[in-house]
Chains A and B, each alone.
Chain A
């Protein structure tokens, strides 16, 4: 399975944008990029996913590099409720259901 690399932790201030990076240099052509987040003591929550083009939804934006070897999850205005572990995950088109989570990035949001 293609691996992802994320920073262990990041900090942000409330109401500022946050850019969470993810490297996936061994991504294959059929791999989708998923982002989930996990708030303390809760199950993971879907954030966004994409294949090649940048994606926007009500929670965040996903910017995918042209060579697809990296991507960035963008939270446009961080709130205290966005403090969580953010996971960048790859899954191949034939097994999108098999989400293998790494250790993710712990995002701290300062008031």
Chain B
């Protein structure tokens, strides 16, 4: 079946602009996660959704970052007034349920470059 998809695959934006990143989870997966991976670093957890509710936003770096999810479907991560330190690969993952969160399926990521 189809895996997790993300769009765009690459995004170059100017400092100060807003960007919106999209994630389509695996159909039927109720839990969805966003991570960030800076160059040469491990992953940082940003936020997770159970359905369209986000019980844990503790990883969002600042109030410039926000995320939404429509039902148990698409999610968007929005970064307002982008800064150069926002440059990273943004990864989305989904799992069948929160109980099965140990097995997360990752998308290919969106590479964001802020110039």
Listed in ascending order, the chain A residues whose CB lies under 8 Å from chain B are: 32, 34, 41-46, 49, 87, 91, 95-104
A30–B83 Cα gap in the complex (Å)?
A: 38
Q: Which of A44, A87, A102 has the most CB of B within 10 A?
A: A44
Of B31, B40, B41, the contact of A97 (CB 8 Å cutoff):
B31
Contacts of A97 in B (CB 8 A): 31, 33, 48, 56, 95, 98, 101, 104
Residue B109 lies at the interface, judged by CB distance under 8 Å to chain A: yes
Residue B107 lies at the interface, judged by CB distance under 8 Å to chain A: yes
Interface size class of B (residues with CB under 8 A): 20 to 34
**16 pairs from A and B in contact (CB 8 Å cutoff):** A34-B102, A41-B108, A43-B107, A43-B109, A44-B104, A46-B105, A49-B103, A87-B42, A87-B43, A97-B48, A98-B56, A99-B45, A99-B104, A100-B45, A103-B41, A103-B42
Inter-chain pairs besides A46-B104, A101-B43, 14 sampled, C-beta below 8 Å: A32-B102, A43-B106, A43-B108, A43-B109, A44-B43, A44-B93, A45-B106, A46-B103, A91-B102, A97-B33, A99-B33, A100-B44, A101-B35, A104-B42
Closest 6 CB pairs of A and B: A43-B106, A101-B42, A97-B101, A101-B43, A46-B103, A49-B102
